[in-house]
């Protein structure tokens, strides 16, 4: 095995489980369509999700039964082989990290619910290596840790290693300029933002208890979904009575969709259209494969109540719960646009390709700006896309001014 592996033995088991799940799901989808077509209910008739009968039903049941049998046999065999092949596991390559992160962004809730080994567990990492949240381990694992902790939280379908882009890493640069100790959150971005918010809040509490030197301050930078996760963690950390929010001094949101992202809202309309006819309603399942994390981006949902008591694919006009930015914390927002300087932030198409400027700056519909982001704590970059937020020199310079 190479020093940096593109595929680990456990990955093969994870991909195998996904293939079996996909085969079973597709078979059920085709059977449902077959049943509804056979009923000829009319173009806008009632959609029925029932198995077919007779010889046709027998064929579908045989396919599903055989798939489960073969799948369980392969999984059992791989379960015995993997411990033998991973006695000395190789370090994960950047390509593997990116692939697994993207897969978690799209299907992460399913991976976690099914116990798939490809599901990413939440960790704090440095240089791609997990940190044990124990005082001795942190003291020996970090080079000269300071009392200024900088937490960087990545976005959807990404991972902590992708904070380094084109040779630049905001965390490393701010460490050199401002004496911070950068830590990087690695998490399953396909799970609900609020679920990750709970887990992050608990993890930060454990981190601060184990930090080897006196803590001066905690600063958080969140890119895209990472900003929503940070807001959720602040909310649930306060509710739990955690101590770490008292050390939080500043938060910076890079292209965070505070008001949601239009691409997810467009995807939700696909569900609505497909479900109008019984002949296409089964295809709505394909649109509903997207993860809980993705559907949270429709309106920038960060609370449990946004999804616990309803259908997350329902066409809701807005999120159910809203919370203010954390009290007593200096919060900053950076939004960028593909357009040249002078574009009106209120224009629907003014944005970085994924997040509109109005959402990134949390502007009201009438164009007024959220009181939590006064003019001195907002910055707009022109001629940049969503990923340029990670390495553009102009973005870093603004971070340095605010944080150093």
Q: For residue 279, what pLDDT band results from cuts at 50, 70 and 90?
A: very low
Q: How far apart are CA 313 and CA 98, in angstroms?
A: 27
**Which CA distances in Å does 145 have to 91, 122, 169, 216, 266?**
24, 22, 18, 12, 45
Contacts (Cβ under 8 Å, ≥6 apart) of 115: none
Contacts (Cβ under 8 Å, ≥6 apart) of 209: 133
Which of 124-138, 227-241, 264-278, 369-383 comes out lowest in average pLDDT? 264-278
Long-range Cβ pairs for the range 344-348 (8 Å, 24+): 345/380, 348/262
As a whole number, mean pLDDT of residues 65-79 equals 58
Q: For residue 118, what pLDDT band results from cuts at 50, 70 and 90?
A: confident
pLDDT at 44: 46
As a whole number, mean pLDDT of residues 108-135 equals 92
Q: Which two tokens stand for residue 217?
A: 């301050």
pLDDT at 120: 95
CB 200 within 8 Å of CB 122: yes
Which of 189-193, 348-352, 398-402 comes out lowest in average pLDDT? 348-352
Domain ranges of the chain: 4-92, 123-260+320-403
Q: How far apart are CA 180 and CA 388, in angstroms?
A: 23
CA angle 223, 287, 310 (to 5 degrees): 80
According to the per-residue pLDDT averaged within each range, which of 2-6, 56-60, 138-142, 207-211 is highest?
A: 207-211
pLDDT tens digits for range 143-193: 899 999 999 999 999 999 999 999 999 999 999 999 999 999 999 999 999
pLDDT at 58: 55
Q: For residue 79, what pLDDT band results from cuts at 50, 70 and 90?
A: low
pLDDT at 323: 85
pTM of the shown model? 0.80
Maximum Cα interatomic distance, the chain, rounded to a whole number of Å:
72
Indicate whether 268 pLDDT > 90: no
As a whole number, mean pLDDT of residues 277-288 equals 50
CATH, domain range 123-260+320-403: 3.40.50.1820
Closest CA to 180 of 214, 139, 146, 135: 146
Coil, helix or strand at residue 320: coil
Residue appearing with tokens 């929010």: 245
CB 10 within 8 Å of CB 117: yes
Q: How far apart are CA 203 and CA 216, in angstroms?
A: 18
Q: How far apart are CA 400 and CA 394, in angstroms?
A: 10
Q: For residue 363, what pLDDT band results from cuts at 50, 70 and 90?
A: confident
Q: For residue 11, what pLDDT band results from cuts at 50, 70 and 90?
A: confident
pLDDT at 346: 60
pLDDT at 14: 73
CA angle 51, 56, 59 (to 5 degrees): 95
Q: For residue 128, what pLDDT band results from cuts at 50, 70 and 90?
A: very high
As a whole number, mean pLDDT of residues 229-246 equals 97
Indicate whether 360 pLDDT > 90: yes
pLDDT at 354: 87
Helices (H), 160-261: 170-178, 193-210, 225-239
- Give percent above pLDDT 70 in the chain: 65
According to the per-residue pLDDT averaged within each range, which of 24-38, 267-281, 357-371 is highest?
A: 357-371
CB 117 within 8 Å of CB 150: no
Higher pLDDT, 374 or 282: 374
Q: For residue 28, what pLDDT band results from cuts at 50, 70 and 90?
A: low
Q: How far apart are CA 403 and CA 150, in angstroms?
A: 10
As a whole number, mean pLDDT of residues 303-315 equals 76
pLDDT at 262: 75
pLDDT at 36: 46
pLDDT at 89: 60
Element at 378 (helix H, strand E): strand 378-382
Indicate whether 244 pLDDT > 50: yes
pLDDT at 313: 61
At residue 93, what are phi and psi to the nearest 5 degrees? -80, 160
**Which CA distances in Å does 165 have to 161, 169, 172?**
9, 7, 12
Name the DSSP letter for residue 185: E
pLDDT tens digits for range 84-116: 556 556 677 888 899 889 889 888 898 899 888
CB 257 within 8 Å of CB 360: yes
Indicate whether 338 pLDDT > 70: yes
Torsion of CA 254, 256, 262, 265, to 10 degrees: 150
Element at 16 (helix H, strand E): helix 9-39
pLDDT at 72: 62
CB 261 within 8 Å of CB 230: no
Mean of all residue pLDDT scores within the chain: 80
């Amino acid at each position: 095995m190479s020093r940096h592996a593109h595929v680990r033995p456990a990955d093969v088991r994870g991909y195998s489980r996904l293939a079996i799940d996909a085969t079973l799901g597709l078979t059920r989808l085709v059977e449902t369509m077959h049943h509804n077509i056979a009923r000829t209910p009319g173009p806008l008739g009632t959609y029925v999700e029932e198995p077919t009968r007779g010889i046709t039903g027998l064929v579908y049941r045989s396919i599903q039964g055989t798939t489960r049998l073969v799948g369980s046999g392969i999984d059992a065999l791989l379960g015995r082989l993997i411990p033998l092949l991973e006695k000395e596991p190789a370090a994960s390559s950047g390509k593997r990290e990116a692939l697994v992160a993207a897969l978690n962004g799209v299907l992460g809730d399913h991976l976690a619910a099914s116990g798939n080994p490809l599901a990413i567990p939440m960790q704090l990492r440095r240089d791609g290596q997990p940190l044990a949240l124990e005082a001795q381990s942190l003291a020996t694992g970090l080079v000269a840790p300071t009392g200024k902790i900088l937490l960087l939280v990545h976005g959807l379908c990404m991972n902590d290693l992708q904070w380094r882009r084109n040779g630049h890493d905001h965390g490393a640069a701010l460490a050199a300029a401002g004496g911070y100790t950068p830590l990087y959150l690695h998490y399953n971005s396909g799970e609900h933002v609020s679920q990750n918010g709970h887990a992050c809040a608990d993890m930060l509490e454990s981190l601060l208890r184990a930090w080897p030197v006196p803590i001066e301050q905690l600063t958080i930078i969140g890119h895209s979904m990472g900003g929503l996760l940070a807001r959720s963690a602040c909310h649930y950390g306060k509710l739990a009575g955690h101590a770490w929010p008292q050390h939080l001094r500043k938060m910076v949101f890079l292209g965070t969709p505070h008001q949601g992202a239009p691409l997810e809202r467009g995807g939700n309309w696909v569900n609505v259209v497909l479900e109008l006819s019984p002949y296409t309603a089964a295809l709505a399942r394909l649109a509903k494969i997207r993860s809980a994390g993705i559907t949270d981006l429709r309106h920038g949902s960060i609370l449990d109540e946004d999804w616990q008591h309803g259908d997350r694919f329902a066409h809701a006009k807005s999120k159910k719960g809203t919370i203010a930015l954390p009290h007593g914390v200096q919060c900053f927002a950076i939004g960028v646009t593909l357009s040249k300087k002078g574009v009106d932030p209120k224009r629907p198409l003014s944005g970085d390709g994924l997040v509109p400027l109005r959402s990134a700056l949390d502007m009201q519909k009438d164009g007024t700006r959220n009181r939590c982001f006064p003019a001195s704590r907002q910055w707009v970059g022109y001629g940049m896309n969503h990923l340029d937020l990670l390495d553009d020199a102009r973005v870093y310079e603004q971070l340095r001014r605010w944080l150093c």
